Chain A
Amino acid sequence: MDTFALLLQGLSVAIQPINLLYALVGVTLGTAVGVLPGIGPATTVALLLPVTYKLDPAGSLIMFAGIYYGGMYGGSTTSILLNTPGESASIVTALEGNKMAKAGRGGPALATAAIGSFVAGLIATIALAFLAPWVVKFALAFGPREYFALMVLAFVTVSAAFGDSALRGLTSLFIGLTLGIIGIDLQTGQARLSFGIPDLLDGVEVTTLAVAMFAIGETLFVAAQGKRAPETVEPVRGSLWMSAKDWARSWKPWLRGTVIGFPIGAMPAGGAEIGTFFSYAAEKKLSKHPEEFGHGAIEGVAGPEAANNASAAGTLVPLLTLGLPTSATAAIMLAGFQQYGLQPGPLLFTSNPQLVWGLIASLLIANLMLIVLNLPLIGLWVKLLTIPKPWLYAGILLFATLGTIGANPSVFELGMLLAFGLLGYGLRLFHFPIAPVVVGLILGPMAEQQLRRALAISQGDVMVLFTSPISATLLALAALALIVPLILRARGKGEVLAAVAADND
């Protein structure tokens, strides 16, 4: 069956009223958490995992994907009106967007962000639908050694290739990998790093770690900053509509942003924010009004906003086709699949096409819902920004602990939540990235399984990893991704890499 037929079949799943409802709940929640600083899509999906345990898998996953897309839309609102990015993929938007809002052009800035997100989301979701079957065909040839090599590549790109320091990225990754070996070894049944504590035998819950690192760590960090520079919400003055000139200046950046963002999301190269930095740099270079950059150039909002939505869709390519998460949100969505006993990968496309294609098709619908939610209803979201900080963060901690207690009502689990929260605060304080910890925890055990399987087949011969062309290429790429940035940084060209630091979601 060709992609169109599959996509149509998916649409018939996605337009079932109950799935439409899940998508609507997802995009609404996603927009809300995108708008609110201090809580992003990764945290939200992690909080919802225990709550959705008893719900329908397809519906929940549609909701999670809606949250991911919605977070990308909502983040721009905060960036433009508050100059504080609502989530990490919107940092660049704040550069030009807030300047536009201060100059009374907040309306067109919000409009170009929302329409750009829509255009990019639409194109990238269709690209996802067409690319996925190809990757699946390719991935069917993958054995354990290829998967292991792919995961090594993901480890390197997520932790060391971008960001301002390979040392700190790798340290975060290895903290995650260490947490990943806690619990019973699946092949021999021996307990590792458990110290006789029964609660540790099942390992560290991805959701507990993610909620602690993101929600609690962030709350502690914000609290410790005290009262610095009171934030002011720029009111949206004047019309929301873009003038003909705004349209003329926006459409090319939207398309370029999509073209830049999608492959970066699809490659195992980390979160959505990386594409936004490249897109911003490209727009600045290509613009006919370079003098406006830094003072509110609309291209600087249109391009990066399109790029972050396109990368969100791109991230779903390795997640769905290979089971490989390349961002924190994707890592938690993988935990979401596993919660229902589903393993994303090439087999899921044949064993459960209804679910996969329903999910992809529902993204098209979610995208449509989001533009309605984000343009006419923008006033509602702006109100969210006026919630005073103490109540906002008190509420975030209430829900953070609710998720953990709901998943496992034990004092020990709450203790881990606190311990990891403090760890998350410490990591933020010393500028360690957070995402590699989460990715290390979830991918580490999978990589170990694949490696042991590969070496069992070869009877312990390590060279087997290099005799398959695919796995040798992937490992070579991983080595390059580790070494090239080190050389660049040593030569003092690290600013470019620091600028594209992969951070939260």
Chain B
Amino acid sequence: MIEPMAQANKQRRPDWAALVIAAGLLALALLVAWDASRLGAGGAYARIGPQTIPYAIAICLGGLAIWTAIAAYRHDFPEREQQDFPPVLWIVGGLVAQMALIKFTGFSIATGILFAMTARGLGKVSLPLALLSGILISGFVWFVFARLLQLTLPAGPPEQLLIQGFDLITAPFKAAPGSAS
């Protein structure tokens, strides 16, 4: 008796998540159209200007929003699997921490924290161990890419130390006669 009731109830209730997607698409369509309305035409007589394609895209997005809403009422969207959110938060937290810290602490520490938090998010690992290995690996990666391949990676205190240490070690070789600059 309860089974069919639940079934009917489920059918009548729209798929809320899909409706949210439809609303998001509609908002995006309006945003694109609003932005296009501010643009001037390219030349007085041009029938196609910088705003033409954005308007076309906005119309299509609006159409897709309606289509998605219909799909939400008809339950055309596939079932979502149960999601574990704490691991996602660990990883997002790691990315945010890296973003916030990179200018101050340099690449190795910021990325080491990201490394540790990602590892923690995906399984039971010891955080101090993950942090230590993360910073060491990031430091090594920084050295290879920033020093040997000349990629611009932000340097913080540990990297400065590394540069100075490296210069100290290589100084005797650089001081060789003829190659001093």
Contacts and interface: CB of A to CB of B under 8 A. Distances in A.
Nearest to B70: A167
Contacts of B138: 398
User: Which 6 A/B pairs are nearest by Cβ-Cβ distance?
Assistant: A460-B47, A223-B87, A226-B84, A390-B119, A390-B123, A185-B50
A145 to B, nearest CB: 13
Given A401-B95, A406-B153, A225 B21 contact: no
A288 interface: no
Given A54-B150, A429-B83, A224 B95 contact: no
Given A224-B84, A398-B137, A406-B145, A390 B122 contact: yes
14 contacts: A51-B145, A167-B64, A171-B25, A192-B39, A223-B121, A226-B84, A390-B122, A390-B123, A394-B122, A406-B151, A430-B17, A431-B78, A456-B48, A460-B46
B109 interface: no
**Chain B interface bracket (under 10, 10 to 19, 20 to 34, 35 or more):** 35 or more
A455 interface: yes
A426 B179 CA distance: 57
B63 to A, nearest CB: 9
Contact of B68 (A167, A220, A226, A406): A167
B64 A219 contact: no
Interface stretch (B96-104, B158-166, B169-177): B96-104
Interface string B75-88: 01110110111011
Given A171-B68, A390-B119, A220 B91 contact: yes
Contacts of B61: 174, 178
A398 B114 contact: yes
Nearest to A226: B84
B125 A390 contact: yes
Contacts of B137: 395, 398
B48 A223 contact: no
**Chain A interface bracket (under 10, 10 to 19, 20 to 34, 35 or more):** 35 or more
Interface in A370-414: 388-391, 393-395, 397-399, 401-402, 405-406, 409, 411, 414
B88 A421 contact: no
Contacts of B17: 430
A223 B154 contact: no
B48 A224 contact: no
Interface of A: 50-51, 54, 164-165, 167, 170-171, 174-175, 177-178, 181, 185, 187-188, 190, 192-193, 216, 219-220, 222-227, 388-391, 393-395, 397-399, 401-402, 405-406, 409, 411, 414-415, 417-418, 421-422, 425, 429-431, 448, 451-452, 455-456, 460
Interface in B44-63: 46-50, 52-54, 57, 60-61
Interface of B: 17-18, 21, 25, 28, 31-32, 35-36, 39-40, 42, 46-50, 52-54, 57, 60-61, 64, 67-68, 71, 76-78, 80-81, 83-85, 87-88, 90-92, 94-96, 98-100, 102-103, 107, 111, 114-116, 118-123, 125, 130, 134, 137-138, 141, 145, 149-154
A390 B118 contact: yes
Given A174-B60, A418-B95, A431-B78, A223 B88 contact: yes
Contacts of B91: 219-220, 223, 397
Nearest to A223: B87
A224 B152 CA distance: 33
A460 B48 CA distance: 7
B87 A192 contact: no
Q: Which of A216, A222, A390 has the most CB of B within 10 A?
A: A390
